[in-house]
Structures are given as C-alpha cells and as structure tokens.
C-alpha cells in the first residue's frame, strides 16, 4: 500500500469525518447561521444520521459556539428523530 493510499485511509476514517463535521458546524454557527439550520443542511444530513448529529452536540467546540437553550432544544429534537 502506497503513501497516498495510507493518507486516504486515514482521512476517510470515521473519526476524521466526525472532526470535519465538527469544524463545519463551528464555522457555520460562528458565521451567524442557526444551529438547527446547520444540522439540517444537506452537507450534514447526507453524511450523518440523527444519532451522529446528536453526538456533535456533545463536542466542546460546538457547545462553546451556541447557547445552552439552543443545545437543549436540538438535543431533544434529534433524540426524537433517532428514537423513531
């Protein structure tokens, strides 16, 4: 296996995908987009299911960018979707 294959393998791991999504959500919310809009963005929904989106709400970087009230609302919404 060549170097580029190894790099591609590392970049495409679940943890790398999760980190990219954290960065995306933080960037979007920092630019003024509401968290609910960002989590419903096709870029996010095409890559993560409801449980994975819910997991994003526990990341310190995301918690720092939004209010507790917004986080609580989004957690409840995503838990309802994931439980269906």
Q: What is the DSSP letter of 48?
A: -
1-57 confidence digits (pLDDT tens): 666 677 666 566 678 888 899 999 999 999 999 999 999 999 999 998 888 888 888
Say which residue, 27 or 80, is predicted with more confidence.
27
Half-sphere exposure of 46 (CA within 13 A, CB side): 3
Structural contact between residues 36 and 74, judged by C-beta atoms closer than 8 angstroms:
yes
């Amino acid at each position: 296996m060549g170097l580029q294959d190894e790099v591609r393998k590392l970049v495409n791991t679940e943890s790398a995908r999760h980190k990219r999504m954290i960065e995306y959500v933080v960037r979007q919310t920092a630019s003024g987009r509401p968290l609910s809009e960002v989590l419903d963005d096709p870029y996010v929904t095409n890559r993560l299911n409801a449980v994975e989106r819910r997991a994003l709400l526990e990341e310190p970087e995301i918690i720092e960018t939004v209010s507790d009230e917004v986080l609580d609302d989004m957690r409840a919404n995503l838990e309802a979707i994931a439980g269906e």
